[in-house]
Structure 1
């Protein structure tokens, strides 16, 4: 199985290897900087998902079986402290169909969201908050905020695995039988 990841972020690459390596024992993974076609700090469901799809499709070629695009973005969520949660979306493209998955979401502190809404990227704000340069390419904000109980690799693995569920059960998702015995 040959897979291309539409990002050179080491966390996205490792999460993809970790999940797909359990599904495909003979796995080769490469990385490329694929254009997301969305702002560096996506805000909103549509734009974040489109970024993941664009990364997957823009990195795909016939030399790969699958292309993986991962995009993290802020989504408006009523009743939350700041009005936003961070979710990572994964799109997996095989040249014909795209499957999607999402990670667990978490909320940033209000001062982070305030700066993001003023145009600063989450990663830059969290680097300042934690004093860790390129935190998003290491353990991630989720690790800092969860006190190490979940790191960015684990959070990213969630969205990759969720995007693989239809592919792991193609008889349930892509079979045109009307009466499936589940």
Structure 2
């Protein structure tokens, strides 16, 4: 039987990344995106706020499924960086009782992007203007543009989904069996 998974977003990158990772781990999965409220600003800044958004998405998407997934990207203060901020994607996976959390590799946006975001704009909007690609975040993502195609947003998002699955893949090590 197929594991039913809801992703707390209609973003095709988040859905595809979840399907790719959970398909490899669980075998047969049926993944669908559901629009939910993250309960945080559209552009979260800070680890706690970003994780809260991922957890809220996962919990709010838990309906008629076995697992729900919440993925939230946010800017995090990072000393010794050019801009003072790193972008990280957090994933929360919920089974109706337990949350597990994972994070992706982080990267730094150009200073002009950070300036605009701190002035109240969303990263996606600013990056769309910078690249000339409409809805870049629902396609290859800023990380693909900035890494010259060496890593796309799906791959970056897969990282946080996989990291959130580690305790579930090793339940006896985490005392959750």
The equivalences for 1:18-167 within 5 A come to 18-61=20-63, 63-167=64-168
Runs ≥4 residues deviating over 6 A: none
- Partner residue, 2:174: 173
* CA RMSD in angstroms, aligned pairs only: 0.9
TM-score (norm. length: structure 2): 0.97
Q: 1:17 to 1:107 in 2, by over 3 A?
A: same
* Unaligned segments of structure 1, at least 5 residues: 177-182
Q: Secondary structure at the match of 2:142?
A: helix
Q: Secondary structure at the match of 1:148?
A: coil
Q: What CA deviation, in whole Å up to 9, does each residue of 1:19-70 have, x standing for no partner?
A: 0000111211111011100000000010000000000000102x21100000
Q: Secondary structure at the match of 1:4?
A: strand
* In structure 2, C-alpha distance between the alignment counterparts of 1:121 and 1:83, rounded to whole Å: 17
- Compare CA radii of gyration and give the structure with the larger one: 1
- Partner residue, 1:180: none
* In structure 2, C-alpha distance between the alignment counterparts of 1:40 and 1:175, rounded to whole Å: 33
* Unaligned segments of structure 2, at least 5 residues: none
